[in-house]
Structures are given as structure tokens and as C-alpha cells.
Amino acid sequence: MGKPTGFLEYSRQTSQEIDPKTRIQNFDEFHIPLSREKQRQQGARCMSCGVPFCQSGAVVAGMTIGCPLHNLVPEWNDLVYNGSWEQAYKRLKKTNNFPEFTARVCPALCEKACTCGLNDDPVSVKENEFAIIEHAYEEGYAKAKPPSVRTGKTVAIVGSGPAGLAAADQLNKRGHSVTVFERSDRVGGLLMYGIPNMKLEKRIIERKVAIMEEEGVTFVTNTDVGKDVRAEDLMKNFDRVILACGSSNPRDIKAPGRESGGIYFAVDFLTSTTKSLLDSGLKDGTYISAKDKHVVIIGGGDTGNDCVGTAIRHGAKSVVQLEMMPKAPDERAADNPWPEWPKVCKTDYGQEEAIHLFGQDPRIYQTTVKEFISDKKGNVCRIKTVKLESRKDEKTGRFMMSEVEGSESEIPADLVLIAAGFLGSQDYVTKAFGVKVNERTNVETGEGDYKTNVSHVFAAGDMHRGQSLVVWAIREGREVAQSVDQDLMGFTNLSTQ
């Protein structure tokens, strides 16, 4: 513990955000990091408490407490304070393959479980992580380190999202020859096309992928396994196969008028914007545009918020976000104590920008779509909404959200984006490999295992556990790599923690 009184001497400071008026003019990241000296002070706030919940990753009451990767948070906070940046990087990389991603997009479960946060503001763990990894790139610590010995074993990974990339990174370091197949034109999966540029600039992904290529990982893009390449060929030509294709089936909204034009899934909207931005700076006009349109987003969460921020950058005329559930409390409830994840209302960057631009929060709670209304050309022009309330189902005893009779109203809608989550893996892949899936269409494996029912075929990430966080995908990628290595070699020296 570098400075025992640090948490008493220094208050929490975080990076400065570029003001909404300025940042909505582009799709760039909008945080200005602290100076190295101020970041060291933030490291000093870590209490090095006897029970570091921040790194526990334990599941309590169905919620994860702290980091699922078991990041050695107190260690590298102390090293940051002492200015030992290279050693901090080594400790950070011991548990996390991609801190350059998690330091930008993770909701920071570590901070929500920080002991300092029990009676004060938590340590700025996420921004300390950001400082460590960016300093490592600047100083050359993060350069490529190819394995010195190859095992002669080959592994194919289907999908280049965080799970697939983590598995590839681990197995390549072990000395196996890894080939990653990606159906899109760029590597990254969810990271590349599911997360907007202002949250994760794509040069950050490309920077890391270039290092992985230098270390020996082979990436094959524009190749849809199960369509362009037969599953049988992969299983024949590689010693092992890992399926890490994500949870790719967007949940739909079934309401009259759903066939109207102008209704899209959020993932298609976000993907089209990012691809056009990377290909031409939005000059090719191939993206789904929100310019001068009344935009309605159905669904909350990160994806809904990302749609709000993206639509505003397009130049939307108005933005409304419908959420089925009631507004969360502004402060922790009595039945939601620390170190549980705080179930409180969060106003994210997109909503902040909408408030700045339109003068009000775009979210309308306890509301859903009852009907999509189209114009004479068959394009959506309005939606009929209905209020919801929680009622107990007499048959099941469970509380369900039910329509409030007589609460219907209409709002203008030229563009509707469905951000209602995802339902599981796509069946053309699972059927091609013959792997079993459960009732949620996630690939089925044994408890705590990653082996499928098909010999030499493994599954990990959202395709295995269902829609989840990037940090969980990385953990699954690390764990499936360990499982594959054990299966190939009869033992493993790959660490998951």
C-alpha cells in the first residue's frame, strides 16, 4: 500500500468530458485523460483493503460482485501511485488480454464493489486501467511478443469478438497455430460494429489486431463459416474448433404494422453507421440515416443509449427512448446494499446529449409500442404507445408488466430502432456443426466446461452464456483456451486468473 492515507487526502477525479455541444459534431472519443501525476494520486486512493471485493468476481444474489477477470486491482493501483508503470502493465495483462477495450467500454463492476465506495467515492479503477495500457503503448511495453516455440497444433476460432480474440491470444501465446474466421469485413465482432466509435475508436481495435498478427495469429475476414466454409472442412483441417459467434439474434417487437418501412434493429443501425464511417467518413450514404427524422428507440440499456447518441450525431429532429420497466431509484435501495451492483438510474452519454440538445431526458418509462402506423407509402410515420404497470400473475405468482387500459397515445416516428436485446446464437452455425443448444439457443456444454457434444468442438462467449458484458466474453475466451490447451496437450499452463 503506497500511501495509507491516500483515500483521506485525495478526492476522486476522472477524465474531463468534452461538452455535448462540441462532441456531437463528430464520432470521436470524447474524454480528456488526467495528467500522469493526477492519475498517480488516484492510484493512491486505493485502500488495499483486506478483502478486495473489486477483484472478487463472486456471484451474490445472482449479481456479480467485482471483476469477472479477477484483475489484480489493488496491486496495479499501488504501482500506478509509485510510478511503476511497466510493472503495473505486467500485472494488468496477467488477467486481462484487452485492457484497451475494457478501460473504454466496461461498466466497471470493480468500482461498484470498491470498499472506498462504501462511505466515499470509489477509486477510479477504470481510468487507472486506461492510463496503464495507454502508457504501455506509448513506451513500447505493449509491443508484439511472438511465442518462441510452436506446438504444431492448430486451432480454428469462428468469430472475432472479445471471446474469440481472447481465446486466440491465449492459445497463440501457448504456441498453437490459431486462425480466426470472421464473417464481416473487419476483425472485432461486437467491438467493431456493435459499439459506436465515440465509445471505442476502431483504431484501438486495429492497433491490437496488428500486434496479434505480428505475434502469429491469422485472421480471415469476409468468410461466413457454415455458408462460405463448410463446418466439416474446419473440423477436418484443424485439431480443435472454437465457436465464438456471439448472441446474434436480435429480439423483435411483435405489434401491428411491424412490416412498415423505416423500422430497423438497433444492431443494423449501429453497424451501418460504423461501416460507412470507416469506409468513407459517412460520405457514401450507405448507412441508415436519422437526419431530420423523429427517431423512436425501443429499449434501454447500452444499445439503446448508443442509438440515442448516434441518432443525435446524424442530426435527428427528435429522439425518444421507450423503456418497459419503471425508472430505477436515484440512490441505492435498502435491499440493494454495497457491494452489490447498484440498481440506480444512470444517465449515460447519449441521454446527456439529448437533454442538452432537446431540453429533456429522451426516456419514457413503463411504456411500450402497441401499433406501428404507416403513411400511404408504407413507411412508419407514427407509433401508438401504451403505458405499463406491474401486476401479479395469478397462475404463476410472478409480477408481470401489463398494459394500462385507456393509456394509449401517439407520437411521431419516421425511424424506429428496436434495441430489445438478443435471443441467442444463429442456427445455421449450430446446425452446421451439429452442436446442441438449450432452450435459449445458447450452445450447450457441461457445467463449468466449454466442450460441446461434438468431439473437438468448443463454444464460448455470448454464444455460450447468452448476451453479456465484454469482460465476461474475455473471461470465457481465456477459460475456453485453457480447456482447449488441456485437451490438446494433456496439461495446460495457461492461466485464467
Domains of the chain by range and CATH? 6-139 (1.10.1060.10), 154-248+423-489 (3.50.50.60), 263-418 (3.50.50.60)
Say whether pLDDT at 1 is over 70: no
Compare 309 and 394 and report the one with higher pLDDT. 309
- Please report, for residues 67, 122, 193, 272, the alpha-carbon distance to residue 130 in angstroms, rounded to integers and kept in the order given: 15, 16, 22, 28
Q: What is the pLDDT of residues 204-218, one digit of tens each?
A: 999 999 999 999 999
Q: Which residues pair with 154 in a beta bridge?
A: 177
CA distance 346 to 367: 18
Q: pLDDT (tens digit, 9 = 90+) per residue, 411-461?
A: 999 999 999 999 888 999 999 999 999 998 999 998 889 999 999 999 999
Is residue 144 exposed (0-12), middle (13-18) or buried (19+ Cβ within 10 Å)?
A: exposed
**181-218 burial: b if 16+ Cβ within 10 Å, else e:** bbbbebbbbbbbbbbbbbbbebebbeebbebbeebbbe
- Residues 400 and 389: their CA atoms lie apart, in Å, by 8
With cut-offs at 50, 70 and 90, classify the pLDDT of residue 62: confident
DSSP letter (8 states) at residue 119: T
Beta strands (DSSP E) in 344-466 are 363-365, 367-374, 380-392, 399-403, 409-412, 415-418, 457-459
d(CA 227, CA 429): 8
In this predicted structure, the answer to whether residue 173 has a pLDDT above a threshold of 70 is yes
- What's the average model confidence in pLDDT over 383-412? 91
In this predicted model, which residue has the larger pLDDT, 148 or 50?
A: 148
pLDDT band at residue 201 under the 50/70/90 scheme: very high
* pLDDT tens string 179-194: 999 999 999 999 999 9
Judge whether residue 330 has pLDDT over 90: yes
**Phi then psi dihedrals of residue 132, to 5 deg:** -65, -50
Grid cell 496495479 in the structure block, residue: 76
Judge whether residue 495 has pLDDT over 90: no
The Cα–Cα gap between 463 and 246 comes to: 4
Predicted local distance difference test score (pLDDT) of residue 497: 65
Average pLDDT over residues 74-80: 95
Query: Three-state SS for 211?
Result: helix
Contact 141, 100 (CB under 8 A): no
Q: How far apart are CA 479 and CA 483, in angstroms?
A: 6
Q: What is the pLDDT of residues 231-253, one digit of tens each?
A: 999 999 999 999 999 998 999 99
Contacts of 279 (CB under 8 A, 6+ apart): 286
Predicted pLDDT of residue 2: 66
Res. 394 pLDDT band, cuts 50 70 90: confident
Query: What is the H or E stretch that residue 240 is in?
Result: strand 240-243
The H or E element spanning position 112 is: helix 109-112
Output the DSSP codes for 314-333: HT-SEEEEEESSPPPPSS--
Residue whose C-alpha is closest to residue 190's, from 348, 302, 64, 67: 302
**Average pLDDT rounded to a whole number, residues 324-349:** 93
The span from the CA of 361 to the CA of 348, in Å, is 11
Question: With 80 as the cut, is the pLDDT of residue 496 above it?
Answer: no
DSSP 3-state of 340: coil
Around Cβ 22, how many Cβ atoms within 10 Å?
Answer: 10
Confidence of residue 395 (pLDDT cuts 50, 70, 90): confident
pLDDT of residue 50: 85
Report the SS3 class of residue 176. coil
Spatial neighbors of 232 by CB under 8 A, at least 6 apart, are none
Collapsed DSSP state (helix, strand, coil) of residue 458: strand
> Residues 333, 334, 336, 338: is their CA dihedral positive or negative?
positive
Q: Which residues contact 138 (CB under 8 A, 6 or more apart)?
A: none
Query: From CA 465, how far away is CA 251, in angstroms rounded?
Result: 16
* Residue 93, CA distances (Å) to 76, 212, 347, 413 in order: 10, 14, 31, 46
Collapsing DSSP to helix, strand or coil, 130 comes out as helix
> Which percentage of the chain shows pLDDT scores above 70?
99
CA–CA distance from 200 to each of 63, 72, 241, 463 (Å)?
Answer: 26, 24, 29, 22
Q: What is the mean pLDDT of the chain?
A: 95
pTM given for the model: 0.96
Neighbour count for residue 315 (Cβ, 10 Å) = 12
Asked if the model's pLDDT at residue 142 lies above 80, the reply is yes
Percent of the chain with pLDDT over 90: 90
Q: Is the preceding peptide bond at 339 cis, omega within 30 degrees of 0? A: yes
| 339-373 per-position pLDDT tens digit | 999 999 999 999 999 999 999 999 999 999 999 99
